[in-house]
Amino acid sequence: NEMIILEDSDLYAVINCLIITDHFPLHKIWVQKGVNKKFVWLMKHYRSELSITIDTFQSVNDIQFIPCDEKVNVVSIWSEDIVAAKNLALSINSHLVFINTYMDFHGSKILWIYKHVSMGLLISDEYMMLNILCENVSQNQEFSMNVVHLSSVVKINDIFVGDLFYDGAWQKPMKGMYWKHNNNSLWANATHIDIKKCYLSARKGFKTWSNMSIKARIQILSRFMSTLELAGIDIKCCYVIAAIVDRWIKFPYLCEGIQGYIENETKEVLWTRRPLGVIILREENENILFFRLMQTLIAGNSVIVMFDANFCNPSSYYDMFSTCGIPPGVINLLSHENTGTLEHKLCLQDYTTYANKFFLKGTSSDTYIVPFRRLTTPKLIVISLQ
């Protein structure tokens, strides 16, 4: 949990709030430079202990939040300029933001939301991270007669070699292992080291992508659509993918925006949504893959696409992703001779069950709206009116 104190804040109100909420955890206080000395003096005068880390900032762009991917993230903003504080709150990728108050749950249903909203998903994300970083793929899973080390291939002039994609670039598999496909191509056979690197890339990409507005994401994806349309002159399927992208960049206007209400005449509560994190995709059909990819990206999540010989290989589009300005780590690619061996590592269950948690089949409006809600989680902004 962190607090941001802007220079137009009522510092005495901040100190009073800190005294009242002393039993709640607070890891860092960001204080704008213009009021830092006065705030520190007040803290020493009214609170004997300075156990909370205090850091200063000139502009809100200087603030670097503590990473806290495995728990509910709470931020408190203090400012007399409520409009500016609301805009700052909306730009922060946090589950719960208080304005001119902190952990104010009295007589409110916000406490229930704080305890229960998205906790199941967060716990799953924590388990997924531990699973990926700590568990090795067994040697039996990595061994196959169809998997070769690239150095053992005598002649590769007529063989296409496909690598992994993460951190915004093509990456050779760490162990140099590739699986043969149709005797005319070799594809990287990801091991647990590659999976770790790819997942960490996706988490970094998520932090960048999720902090962009939907409008900014749409602008980037619009450039991707234009690139597809140009490529469609020579490759017909690009027109189809471009049409899918076009359909989705118009979709967010159908989504529910910011909703709000006044509670107990003491606080205003705004309700919006924030993206979940890293989403795994694997589909047989290219159109379905891109349909779900666009859903996931517009919602603000990063993606790892995995494929083998039985599933869609979207590698031919990845240079286009980079060209149109999608940040590194937002879209990643893993290949393996049998992606079934990766399912429980990346999805914590079989992929079909995992995908059904987020996506719907069909062409109804629910196919658009329901997955957007499932790919995001509620975000609350609580503004004190007292």
The segment with the largest mean pLDDT, out of 54-63, 195-204, 250-259, is 195-204
* Model confidence pLDDT, tens digit, residues 203-232: 999 989 988 888 889 899 999 999 888 876
Q: Indicate if the pLDDT at residue 157 is higher than 70.
A: no
Which of the four pLDDT bands, split at 50, 70 and 90, describes residue 108? low
Which of the four pLDDT bands, split at 50, 70 and 90, describes residue 135? low
Q: Which residues pair with 307 in a beta bridge?
A: 335
CB 277 within 8 A of CB 125: yes
Residue 181 backbone phi and psi in degrees, to 5: -130, 120
Q: Please give the residue that has the higher pLDDT: either 386 or 156.
A: 386
- Angle ∠(251,256,257) on CA atoms, nearest 5: 105
Task: Give the integer Cα–Cα distance in Å for 96 and 226.
Answer: 37
Task: Give the integer Cα–Cα distance in Å for 356 and 361.
Answer: 9
Q: Indicate if the pLDDT at residue 258 is higher than 80.
A: no
Q: Please give the residue that has the higher pLDDT: either 341 or 258.
A: 341
Q: Indicate if the pLDDT at residue 106 is higher than 80.
A: no
Q: Which residues pair with 96 in a beta bridge?
A: 74, 380
pLDDT at 3: 93
Q: What DSSP character marks residue 38?
A: H
The segment with the largest mean pLDDT, out of 64-78, 171-185, 294-308, is 294-308
Which of the four pLDDT bands, split at 50, 70 and 90, describes residue 368? confident
CB 30 within 8 A of CB 57: yes
Average pLDDT over residues 231-242: 74
Domain assignments of the chain as residue spans, ordered by start: 2-104, 125-144+158-254+275-376
Classify domain 125-144+158-254+275-376 at the CATH topology level: Aldehyde Dehydrogenase; Chain A, domain 1 (3.40.605)
The segment with the largest mean pLDDT, out of 26-40, 48-62, 371-385, is 26-40
**Tokens 């948690």 belong to which residue?**
357
Q: Please give the residue that has the higher pLDDT: either 183 or 71.
A: 183
Find, among 65, 71, 194, the residue nearest to 126 by Cα: 71
Q: What DSSP character marks residue 347?
A: T
Which alpha helices (H) appear in 232-273, and where do they start and end? 236-249
Q: Which two tokens stand for residue 208?
A: 């960048």
Task: Give the integer Cα–Cα distance in Å for 36 and 53.
Answer: 13
pLDDT at 139: 42
Find, among 325, 322, 323, 324, the residue nearest to 168 by Cα: 322
Which of the four pLDDT bands, split at 50, 70 and 90, describes residue 306? very high
Chain mean pLDDT for the chain: 83
What is the DSSP secondary-structure string of 69-130?
A: TTS--EEEEE-S-HHHHHHHHHHS--SEEEES-SS--TT-THHHHHHHTTHHHHHHHHHHHH
Q: Where does 2-104 sit in CATH, by number?
A: 3.40.309.10
Task: Give the integer Cα–Cα distance in Å for 67 and 313.
Answer: 33
Average pLDDT over residues 76-96: 89
